[in-house]
Amino acid sequence: MKKVILFDLDGTLVDTLPDLAGALNYALRAVNKPEKTLKEVQSYVGDGVISLVRRALESEHPTDELLARALAEFRSYYEDHAVYLSRPYDGIFELISALKDKGYILGCVSNKYDKMANFIVNHYFPNDFSYTLGRIEGVPLKPAPDMLYIAIEKLGVTKEEALFIGDSDVDYFTYRDMDMDGISCSYGFRAKNILIELGAKFIADSPLQILEIIEKNFA
């Protein structure tokens, strides 16, 4: 039986894409580079802010200096606008409430840098999550398993007692390669056909379907 439910953040709990795109295009304007569409930004998300900005600049063959400037501009803007247009997905509040009522301990593991991951989780879900971990120095990002191992250790469970939920290929590879149970979400930043092609066993088309899958397969 599962005791802990771990969530990814961007594209799983909260639709953060509008604010990520706003910050990225602000940074691109600041370094005199062309802006990106919402769809383009969506394809860049998943591996953390450094990869996000680097991918947006790839066609510009960025120098280390340009990348550093763009990253600084992104972070400065994003810290003031992270919850400007972002919203939890429809059904997420109901899902969180139902899971807590059933006695599950909730955690969040995100490739977003730790300060902002904790800020966003605490902003939308005060007192709901027992532990939130974002990118910290010296810990490899997902799909490396390190962040999940830290989270389950902090929450006092084994990987067999935990379940990881995320929307991206990165999240799928994280729980698959860790040999941990997981659910992939098709309502987030990756299309359902991609998740199917990857081999995801459990796919939720909405937050409330997550609850159905848990009750049917992991309760």
Q: What was the pLDDT predicted at 62? A: 82
- 69: helix, coil or strand? helix
Residue 88 preceded by cis peptide, ω within 30: no
Count CB neighbours of 102 within 10 A: 12
The 10s digit of each residue's pLDDT in 110-131 is 999 999 999 999 999 999 999 9
- Tell me the average pLDDT of the chain: 96
Separation between Cα atoms, residue 163 and residue 3, nearest integer Å: 8
CATH 1.10.150.240 maps onto the chain at 17-81
Chain segment 11-37, per-residue pLDDT in tens: 999 999 999 999 999 999 999 999 999
Write the class of the CATH domain 17-81.
Answer: mainly alpha
SS3 21: helix
* Per-residue pLDDT tens digits for 141-167: 999 999 999 999 999 999 999 999 999
Q: Domain spanning 4-15+87-217: which superfamily?
A: HAD superfamily/HAD-like (3.40.50.1000)
Is the pTM higher than 0.85? The answer reads yes
C-beta separation of 133 from 118 below 8 A: no
